[in-house]
Amino acid sequence: MMKLLLISPNVEFLPDPIFPLGLAYIAAALKRQEIDHRILDLCFVTDVEAELSAEIESLMGLGINNVFIVDNEFNFPVEHAQFVCHEIIRRNLKIKWSGYANPKFIQPRIVELMRDSGCSGIEFGSDAADSFMLKQMGKAFTLEEMNRASEICHSSGLSFCHSLLIGGPGETMQTVQRTFDAILAMSPTAVVCMVGIRIFPGTRLFEMAGKEGSIQAGQNLLEPCFYLSPAIKDTILLFVETFSKEHPTWIFPGMEININRTLQKKIRRLGARGPLWEYMKMGQRFKQ
């Protein structure tokens, strides 16, 4: 049976710890699928880094040797990431791990330390690579910082992936092209690209979608509903289909382009663990 550990990294007290809404959605979905899971809620611990390292050690005792840290701010503050990596090394944990990171705070030393502690890859939740769309998506980093982070990963020999969300407010085919061109220039190991952004209640996107008529008043958003900029809705799918044929390491999960369930099962049966984007070149060979 699959077993998952969900880690809530939210350590802010405003004035009380807040359980992340996204994590609640994930936990509910796992429960419906009868997947065994538990939550390590870092909202209520005082020594986050030591607690996380101890949890990894306990997972190894259960035979788990691969961990993915779902925390876009793992490397902020940088001291937090350094402490976790040092703890893994100090405890001599022979673990393979990967996770999300913020490109704004990527430094050569921290990337080397992550690699030395067993990190096999970094995933950047970039969402876009166009200056206008980065602002539209509320990102606090710049295109220049994304380029620098990519260069550091290349220099250290660490695999990395950029995750994109296409179709947000203000998106046009011109901004899509600029994003794709910029990411291609960064030469990541892989790219995970979602077309359309899921609408959640209480968000700015929810309010905007309501004003535009993309959702109806009282609509049940437990049933997934996605926002797609009107400026690209008639052209983006054909564009992606054409683009993906020339770029096999770009994954479009929602469209099952360059990855599908059959391929996933093949890769897993060969013993692959962790994010499948790290195996995309291998995956392409299977498909031929």
pLDDT of residue 120: 93
Look at residue 122 and tell me if it is in a domain: yes
For position 231, what pLDDT does the model report?
96
Q: Which residues have a Cβ under 8 Å from the Cβ of 167 and sit 6 or more positions away?
A: 195, 196, 197, 226, 227, 228, 229, 232, 233, 236
- Residue 160 pLDDT: 95
Domain count, the chain: 1
Q: Residue 65 domain-assigned?
A: yes
180 occurs within a structural domain: yes
Domain extent at residue 80 = 47-287
**pLDDT score for 55:** 76
pLDDT, one tens digit per residue, over 140-168 is 999 999 999 999 999 999 999 999 999 99
In angstroms, the CA 124 to CA 186 distance is 12
Q: What is the pLDDT of residue 253?
A: 87
Residue 288 to residue 286: CA distance in whole angstroms: 6
Looking at residue 256, what is its pLDDT?
82
**Per-residue pLDDT, 179:** 98
| Structure tokens belonging to residue 141 | 């980093």
Task: Give the pLDDT score at 37.
Answer: 60
108 domain-assigned: yes
Which regions of the chain are under pLDDT 70?
Answer: 1-49, 71, 280-288
Q: Is residue 14 part of a domain?
A: no
The reply to whether 19 falls in a domain is no
pTM: 0.79
* Domain-embedded: residue 128: yes
> Is 29 inside a domain boundary?
no
Q: Residue 4's pLDDT is what?
A: 55
CATH number for position 95: 3.80.30.20
pLDDT value at residue 252: 93
